Amino acid sequence: MLNKNILAEIEAGYKNYSKGHKKIASFIVNQYDKAAFMTASKLGQEVGVSESTVVRFANALGYEGYPELQEALGEIIKNKLTSLQRMEIAYDKMANEDILSKVMNSDISKMRSTLENIDKKVFDDAVEKILNAKKIYILGVRSASAVSSFLGFYFNLLFTDVRLVHTTSVSEMFEQILRVDENDVVIGVSFPRYSRRTIKALEYAKLKGATVISITDTEVSPLVPCSDISLFAKTDMVSFVDSLVAPLSVVNALIVAIGMRKKQEITQTLNDLENIWAEYNVYNQESE
């Protein structure tokens, strides 16, 4: 259960809380950026109450446990933290720990959560819309460009008219999607901190009647209001680095699902490409 107004809810109920719950509430409201990264035990120690009191406070707010409250707080702050603040938080969380295990286990957790929560019907709808598009525009900037470029590379093997939008400004993005219309699909990729360029471009595409598909993190993402279809993939902060493992997996699933539907065409395309790659020595053919 995620609540965008969790801080307002805590403040509204403050007068009815017990003494211990008031201590927790005050700390969260005033320092939610720190509380979001504290365990129940650490938060309890910080304000002078027991770990069980912290858990009961989360339950009183309607959460099944403290981790859900923590996730709600995380949703509030993740689009606000600077790279430096991310680094400082990561240092507090990971100091003296096995970083390799910590990061990979975190990615595994996000993959599992994405699989459990993604709507299969919405995914299938996205596949149908893409298959029926006249043109496909793909856009994602900053760290999201890694995901959009990966999608663009394989979609260029699957379709004849794919535009991977490269931009350094809002005006350049509009110039590249200027002629988008109701026969086209525009796929936008963005995660916290969300790109204003991507949001504005999707709003324009929606206004022009195109089918807009967003690949983002949650229902409260600013990409959702300007999208016809939204595919959600869990992402999180790993130090100053954005974890894109789950988004890449969702994109990979899109590519495979569409490839399966276009098996005959892609078989011929790949056969032609193999001949070209062999002729121009694209890949190293030497045996070990």
Whether residues 53 and 159 share a domain: the answer is no
The per-residue pLDDT for 242 is: 73
Do 126 and 265 lie in one domain? The reply is yes
Distance of CA 18 to the CA centre of its chain: 37
Does residue 89 contact residue 216 with C-beta atoms inside 8 Å?
Answer: no
Query: 138 and 14 in one domain?
Result: no
Whether residue 119 is found in the same domain as residue 63: no
Domain endpoint, select from 77, 105, 133: 77
248 is a domain residue: yes
pLDDT by position in tens, the chain (length 288): 444 478 888 888 888 999 999 999 999 888 887 888 788 999 999 999 999 999 999 999 999 899 889 888 877 766 566 555 555 655 555 566 677 887 888 889 889 989 998 999 999 999 999 999 999 999 999 889 999 999 999 999 999 999 999 877 777 888 999 999 999 999 999 988 788 899 999 999 999 999 999 999 888 789 999 999 999 998 865 555 678 999 999 999 999 999 999 888 888 888 888 888 888 788 876 654
pLDDT attached to residue 9: 85
Helices (H), 65-166: 66-77, 83-94, 99-117, 120-131, 145-158
pLDDT at residue 226, as a whole number: 95
Residue 107 within a domain: no
Do 43 and 119 lie in one domain? The reply is no
Angle between helices 19-30 and 51-60 (to 10 degrees): 80
Tell me if 95 is assigned to some domain.
no
Omega cis (within 30) before 193: yes
In this predicted structure, what is the pLDDT of residue 288?
Answer: 45
Three-class secondary structure of residue 129 per DSSP = helix
- Using the 3D structure, point to which of 25, 48, 77 is the last residue of a domain: 77
Same domain as 207, residue 253: yes
The DSSP bridge pattern shows strands 241-242 and 237-238 to be: antiparallel
- Based on the domain organization, do 40 and 172 belong to the same domain? no
Q: In sequence order, what are the residues at sequence separation of 6 or more whose Cβ sits closer than 8 angstroms to the Cβ of residue 103?
A: 238, 243
Q: Are residues 272 and 145 in the same domain?
A: yes
- Is residue 88, in this structure, part of any structural domain at all? no
Q: Does 141 lie in the same domain as 42? A: no
Cα separation values, 159 from 187, 258, 262, Å: 14, 10, 9
Same domain, 130 and 182: yes
Q: Are 147 and 233 in contact (CB under 8 A)?
A: no
| pLDDT value at residue 286 | 63
Q: What is the CATH number of the domain that holds 179?
A: 3.40.50.10490
274 assigned to some structural domain: yes
Residues 57 and 132 in one domain: no
Among candidate residues 77, 98, 130, the one where a domain is terminated: 77
Residue 92 is assigned to a structural domain of this protein:
no
DSSP tag of 280: T
Is there a contact between 246 and 116 (Cβ–Cβ < 8 Å)? no
Q: What sign for the dihedral angle of Cα 121, 228, 214, 152?
A: positive
Domain count of the fold of the chain = 2
For residues 91-100, one letter each, b for 16 or more C-beta atoms within 10 angstroms of the residue's C-beta and e for the rest, the string is: eebeeeeeee
Q: Distance between CA 85 and CA 75 in Å, rounded?
A: 16
Looking at residue 1, its pLDDT comes to: 41
Q: Which pair of tokens denotes residue 125? A: 């709808």
Q: Which domain holds residue 133?
A: 114-279
Would you say residue 97 lies in a domain? Answer: no
Q: In what order do the strands lie in the sheet with 185-189?
A: 162-165, 136-139, 185-189, 211-216, 229-232
Residue 106 half-sphere exposure, CB side, CA atoms within 13 Å?
Answer: 18
* CATH code of the domain covering residue 67: 1.10.10.10
The CA distance from 193 to 200, in Å, is: 15
For residues 214, 218, 223, 224, the Cα torsion angle rounded to the nearest 10 degrees is: 80
Query: Buried b / exposed e across 18-39, counting CB within 10 Å, b at 16+?
Result: eebbbbbbebbeeebebbbbbe
